[in-house]
Amino acid sequence: MVVVIGDNSVGYISKMNSTNFGGNVLDGNVVINANSVIIANEITLSATSATTIDLSSILSSGYDYEICLSCESNVKTKGKWGKLSIVSGTKTYANISDADTIVVTENNARTDASYYCWGTVWVPIKSTDRKITLYNNGSDAVYNITIDLKGYRTVGTNGKSVTNPIDSISVGGSAYKIGGSIADGSWYLSYYSLASGVTLKSGTEYSYSLSSYLPNDGYDYMVLFSGWGRTGTSSGNNCNLTLQCGSGLYKFMRCGYHSESSYICASNIMIPVHSSSKTVILTNGSGTSGTCGLYALAYRRIKAS
């Protein structure tokens, strides 16, 4: 179905508001912060405790949001176990159950060394409670919790249904296809191997093009990646993997060598890929070695950022 504006015999848009596009009804653009916005800086969260971070000074009122958080945590004493999760809104420890939480990192130290974990998650935020609650239901403290608000988007407030999907609208004689220029498209499950068993050199960047994976249509895409890392087999080897696309730099996963043999970790990450730069850069931190794999699993066209 095509909706034409300006011709009542076919149809018209009954309400437009030039100030609110991408918020009240539709999702907004994905905004990736060029610089770090640290909302937690090297904090410690005690065992079986929760703490709330107020985001109302960062996120405007009146909108729901999806926020992208890049996180790091550490457990550093033999026998200790910590688990860092995030809950949308304000909650007390007693009012949180496992199923309420979005797990960010979990580790248990088996030697007296730092067991760092990294993860990047998307968290829905309601306009009525623009806070997140950090939650540790491990038996021991989680240290060095650092959280960078990498980006966000407003979420539309639609909830009711209509009977016919709308393919495109015409405004002033120009056709706008819904599903990219105005609204997001559908998810496509599509597997694409970018790297498998690649040897990681210290402080080296590995660039992977998505130009043969994503449609060449000028739109931005949200892409879901999955990957794994394995440290080398020497003491001090770490696997500190970040993923970069455009101005966005995201913590992907991290583990360290602590005894006898290599350690492993695995994670996934969902990030926006800009039409003008369909390249992702995988970087391992300095002083490290190991191997890794990186795979794209799904993509979805999104509004231009």
Partner 1 sequence: MAIEKIQVNSTVYNLSSTVFDGQWVISPYMILQGTALSATTTYQYSLTSYLPNDGYSYEVIFSGTCCTTSTKGKTASVFIYPGQKTYSDMETLNGGIRIARAVARTAANQKYGGSAVVPLTGATRYITVNTMDSSANSTVYLWASAYRRLGTNA
Q: Is the Cβ of residue 35 or residue 115 nearer to partner 1 in the bound state?
A: 115
Our measurement of the distance from residue 2's CA atom to the centroid of its chain's CA atoms, rounded to an integer in Å, reads 34
Pairwise CA distance, residues 141 & 122, whole Å: 24
Residue of 111, 244, 247, 279 that binds partner 1 (CB under 8 A): 111
Closest contact distance (angstroms) between CB of 1 and partner 1 is 7
Closest contact distance (angstroms) between CB of 104 and partner 1 is 7
Closest contact distance (angstroms) between CB of 42 and partner 1 is 21
Enumerate residues 170-189 that contact partner 1 by CB under 8 A: 178-180, 182-187, 189
Stretch that binds partner 1, among 55-63, 117-125, 199-207, 236-244 (CB under 8 A): 117-125
Pairwise CA distance, residues 265 & 116, whole Å: 11
Residue 28 backbone phi and psi in degrees, to 5: -85, 180
Enumerate residues 203-232 that contact partner 1 by CB under 8 A: 224, 226-228
Closest contact distance (angstroms) between CB of 159 and partner 1 is 6
Closest contact distance (angstroms) between CB of 260 and partner 1 is 5
Stretch that binds partner 1, among 19-27, 141-149, 241-249, 284-292 (CB under 8 A): 19-27
Enumerate residues 55-84 that contact partner 1 by CB under 8 A: 64, 66, 81, 83
Enumerate residues 124-143 that contact partner 1 by CB under 8 A: 124, 126
Residue listed under structure tokens 């009977």:
163
The DSSP call for residue 98 is G
N- to C-terminal Cα distance for the chain? 27
Residue 304 contacts partner 1 per CB under 8 A: no
Residue of 35, 164, 174, 276 that binds partner 1 (CB under 8 A): 164
Enumerate residues 254-273 that contact partner 1 by CB under 8 A: 258-268, 270
How many Cβ atoms are within 10 Å of 8's Cβ, its own excluded?
A: 8
Closest contact distance (angstroms) between CB of 56 and partner 1 is 18
Which CA distances in Å does 181 have to 9, 12, 28, 29, 211?
25, 19, 11, 10, 20
3-state secondary structure of 241: strand
Q: Residue count of the chain, please give it.
A: 305
Q: Is the Cβ of residue 25 or residue 34 nearer to partner 1 in the bound state?
A: 25
8 Å CB contact between 295 and 192: yes
Closest contact distance (angstroms) between CB of 23 and partner 1 is 7
Residue 104 contacts partner 1 per CB under 8 A: yes
Closest contact distance (angstroms) between CB of 143 and partner 1 is 16
Enumerate residues 140-159 that contact partner 1 by CB under 8 A: 155-159
Residue 37 contacts partner 1 per CB under 8 A: no
8 Å CB contact between 263 and 256: yes
Residue 27 contacts partner 1 per CB under 8 A: yes
Q: Is the Cβ of residue 35 or residue 160 nearer to partner 1 in the bound state?
A: 160
Residue 82 structure tokens: 């910590």
Residue 160 contacts partner 1 per CB under 8 A: yes
The DSSP call for residue 190 is E
Strands, sheet with 168-171, edge to edge from the N-terminal-most edge strand: 2-4, 168-171, 174-177
Which CA distances in Å does 107 have to 72, 180, 271?
11, 40, 24
Residue 128 structure tokens: 């009525």
Q: Is the Cβ of residue 35 or residue 159 nearer to partner 1 in the bound state?
A: 159
